[in-house]
Amino acid sequence: MKTSRLSSFLLLGYGIFILAFLYLPLVSVGLASVSKARYLSFPIRKYNTGWYGEALASDTVQSLLWISLKVAGIVTVSSMVIGFLGALAFARYSWRFRKGFQKLILLPIFFPQTVLGLALLMWFNALGIVPSWKTAIIAHLVWIAPIATLIVSIRAFSFDPSLEEAARDMGASQWQVLREVTIPLLMPGVVSAGLFAFLLSWGNFPLSLFTTGADSTLPEWLFAKMISGYSPLVPTVGMLTVAGSAVLVAAGLILAWALKRLRPTT
Amino acid sequence: MRQRERQLGALYALPLGLFLGLTFLAPILLVALFSIMPEKVFELTHMPDFSAYRVVLAQGYWKSVAWSLFLAALATAILLVVCWPLAYAMAKVFKRFTLVLTIGVVMTLFVSENIRLFGWVLTLMKGGLIEGYFRHWTGIGFDAPLYNVPVIVFGLVYVYLPFMLFPLAQGISMVPDDARQAAFDLGATRWQILREIELPLAMPGIMVGSLLTFVLAAGAMAESKLLGGRAVITIADEVQTAFTYGQNWPLGSALAMVLIAIIGSLAIWAISKADLDAMMGRKS
């Protein structure tokens, strides 16, 4: 029962249509960001990239950028470490509460993020911690560290335990096994988990909303501007954050491709 | 050997386990405790009186709950139909294009939901991408299809498409080609193959995709705020309002507990049925 030429062709068209559907709003934002008019209306009459210069020169945007970068950077490093250790417990070793641990990790991913952000705000308040960008890191990690763990686990599941045993039989210490066998084998998973962690933190809004206190991240600022009326800086800053993600994804893909090229056997 | 595995497993689970205990389970417990406090208090030192739950029942908050669940169910049903052909093609028909689609769809997840929904406002609004060019070319304008219930469903379908597409494609890839071929050779129609072979065998993927979509959509609020102009107030929105403008933590907590109970019981039911080892391909 082969799929006919015609239906393959139709399905391909449908796939392209869905991709276009997913990217259409970004096209609008992109066009809006280069429109010269202060009050946007299509069709755009005059194009101009001046808003980008204005956005990049603005102190507000620079400090937002810096806060978003700090949060995403620390979330990335922390979730790589937590995700690596968590994945070993999740996938590699058989221990008593493994099934329960696996289920605990899935719960935060399903949880509504707005409610999680509010619950954390109450929790920080009860502990006497003043919310700032540092508490936002904790909030992001509640959601992102489990995702990172799952990503590393996919790698850890396809990992042959006899490699570790062989190293141990040859007299390697626990630390040497970890350093020489386990870490290098799981590294691709850890790197992709880090990439996901950065991108998810960079774009996150609902968790940041309640947990950054007086500080603000880029998505938060964008949201505040969106609901308070149109500003030409909204599409511009929006496109800047999209460009940031795109550059990182491209770098990740090139890295993956280069590694595949260099080591075709693995 | 076994002994060492057990110790190492518990040791490596410790950082994430402790972290989630302190930053996920403890805050939920705190919300549960606040939800039984008298109204408008900010400490837990009062006598519990469950009055916030009475307010939830008396003041029509059930409408928000019902709307959220209805919109989520509708979006899930639409997504099943929209994603099925594409997921099928990704699993069985496309070769290289599956990778292109996967990367293309995953990348949208990294763009803040706000920006994408804002993009739809710019696309659909009067004088936006669609209406603006349409009027420019034909001279006929029309009203923006914004700020109503259908556009909220549209927003949910848009935002949660990847969460249906990937589990569905995974599910369909588990349908053996032989089974379809055999049914076809025995004279089954395309429709019979779908109903008798593909749907039952792809059921794990269908369940995971539907649950994920439903649970996420039930807790959503950005779609109704940005696209829907709050034509419908969702439950997550009510929770936020009670905490922020209302300054009524016990009411907000009680509303949150209603949402947590619905989503939590669905999620726990689903998770307890799933065998993660088998799903993720554990070898030993």
**B216/A110 Cβ within 8 A:** yes
Q: B89: which chain A residues are within 8 Å (Cβ-Cβ)?
A: 8, 11-12, 14-15
On whether any CB of chain B is under 8 Å from the CB of A214, the answer is: no
d(CA B252, CA B238): 8
CA–CA dist A29, A236 (Å, integer)? 8
Question: Nearest-CA neighbor of A160 among B5, B284, B2, B7?
Answer: B284
CATH class of A58-229: mainly alpha
Q: What does the alpha-carbon distance between residue B241 and residue B248 come to, in Å, rounded to a whole number?
A: 9
For residue B282, the model assigns a pLDDT of 60
Give me the torsion for CA of A104, A106, A112, A113, rounded to 10°.
Answer: 90
Q: Which residues does chain A have with pLDDT short of 50? A: 266
Query: B130, B151 in Cβ contact below 8 A?
Result: no
Residue of B nearest to A245 (CA): B110
The residues spanned by each domain of chain A are 58-229
* ipTM score for this prediction: 0.85
Which pLDDT score is estimated for B280? Answer: 66
Search chain B and give the residue with CA nearest A241. B111
Contacts of B12 in chain A (CB under 8 A): 85-86, 88-89, 93
d(CA B36, CA B56): 12
In the DSSP assignment, the letter for residue B92 is I
Contact B248, B51 (CB under 8 A): no
Pairwise CB contact (< 8 Å): A28 & B123: yes
Are the Cβ atoms of B13 and A101 closer than 8 angstroms? yes
| pLDDT of amino acid A215 | 85
Q: What is the pLDDT of residues B246-278, one digit of tens each?
A: 888 888 899 999 988 988 888 888 777 776 676
- The CA distance from B153 to B228, in Å, is 9
Q: For residues A87 and A79, is the Cβ–Cβ distance under 8 A?
A: no
The rounded distance, in Å, linking the Cα atoms of A144 and A110 is: 12
B133 touches chain A (CB under 8 A): yes
- Is B17 in contact with A101 (CB distance < 8 Å)? yes
Cα-Cα end-to-end distance for chain B: 15
Chain A contacts in chain B segment 1-60 (CB below 8 A): 1-2, 5-17, 19-20, 23-24, 26-28, 30-31, 34, 44
Shortest Cα distance, chain A CAs vs residue B58, angstroms = 22
pTM: 0.86
Nearest CA in chain B to A139: B23
pLDDT at site B1: 58
Domains of chain B with bracketed CATH: 60-279 (1.10.3720.10)
pLDDT of residue A266: 46
pLDDT at position A203, please?
Answer: 84
Whether A68 contacts A134, CB under 8 Å: no
The whole-angstrom distance between B204's CA and the closest CA on chain A is 17
Could you tell me the mean pLDDT of each successive run of 10 residues in chain B, 284 residues long? 77 88 91 84 77 83 89 94 91 85 87 88 83 81 81 93 88 84 86 86 84 88 84 87 86 90 85 71 55
